[in-house]
Amino acid sequence: MVLLPVKNYRQLTTFIFTFPSYPKNLIMKRFIFIAAFTIAVFAAKAQDNSKTEADIRSLEQTVVNAILRADTISLKKLWAPEFMVNNPRNNISENLDAVLAVQKAGMIDYSIFERVIERMQFQKDMVITMGREKFASRSDMPGVKAGVEYKRRFTNIWMKKKGGWQQVGRHASIICQ
């Protein structure tokens, strides 16, 4: 480790640009190269996130459409086997089979279902989406009357698995009316 005899930024720049063993143009070229490299890395990451964001937004809408159509074939592809839901009925569906059983029992049967993603967070192989939803059930359920529109907040968790994205977790809570 090399310690430089400087105490602040001004002394550092003075030291770098007056250091006797390096020509000033070589130091400037290195600085420009490092700055350009750093910008290129961040730009590439931003482009990668924009593609991922578009993919996840499309998958979120596909889930909404599949739920409205009760399309369990599509949902089985979109939801991972370990898909776990903390649902608005104040219990946890521990895996895909449990969620599909709730759907089969008529508790995920909507005449209206809209989702608005307000924020996304990107991790290496994971994306978290958060936002609001509006839905109306086709039938009465505990705490929900048929045909009445309800609003809720949601958090969805997507993971990249075998080259594709699958939803692995979800939390949804009805907002007090």
The full DSSP string for 77-105 is: HHEEEEEEEE-TTSSEE-SHHHHHHHHHT
Residue 32 domain-assigned (yes or no): no
What is the tally of structural domains in the chain? Answer: 1
Q: d(Cα 30, Cα 165) in Å, to the nearest integer? A: 40
Mean pLDDT of 51-62: 97
Its domain, for residue 110, covers 38-174
What pLDDT is recorded for position 66? Answer: 97
Residue 66 domain-assigned (yes or no): yes
What pLDDT is recorded for position 170? Answer: 98
Q: How confident is the model at residue 74 (pLDDT cuts 50, 70, 90)?
A: very high
Residue 12 domain-assigned (yes or no): no
Q: In whole numbers, what is the pLDDT of the chain averaged over residues? A: 86
What percent of the chain is modeled with pLDDT above 70? 72
pLDDT tens, position by position, 87-141: 888 899 999 999 999 999 989 999 999 999 999 999 999 999 999 999 999 999 8
What pLDDT is recorded for position 146? Answer: 94
Residue 14 domain-assigned (yes or no): no
Q: d(Cα 14, Cα 122) in Å, to the nearest integer? A: 40
Q: How confident is the model at residue 51 (pLDDT cuts 50, 70, 90)?
A: very high
Model-level pTM? Answer: 0.73
| 2, pLDDT greater than 60 | no
More confident residue, 29 or 82: 82
Residue 92 domain-assigned (yes or no): yes
| 70, pLDDT greater than 60 | yes
**Measured distance between the N- and C-terminal CA atoms of the chain, rounded to whole angstroms:** 62
Cβ neighbours of residue 167 closer than 8 Å, sequence gap 6 or more: 59, 63, 78, 79, 80, 83, 156, 157, 158
Q: How confident is the model at residue 155 (pLDDT cuts 50, 70, 90)?
A: very high
Residue in this structure with the two tokens 């979109």, named with its chain if needed: 78
Residue 37 identity: F
Residue 16 identity: I
CATH number at residue 48: 3.10.450.50
What pLDDT is recorded for position 6? Answer: 59
Question: Hey, which residues does 73 pair with through a beta bridge?
Answer: none
What pLDDT is recorded for position 90? Answer: 87
Backbone phi and psi for residue 82, each to the nearest 5 degrees, phi listed first: -90, 10
Residue 42 domain-assigned (yes or no): yes
Residue 16 domain-assigned (yes or no): no
Q: d(Cα 155, Cα 132) in Å, to the nearest integer? A: 9
| 72, pLDDT greater than 60 | yes
Q: d(Cα 36, Cα 14) in Å, to the nearest integer? A: 22
Residue 15 domain-assigned (yes or no): no
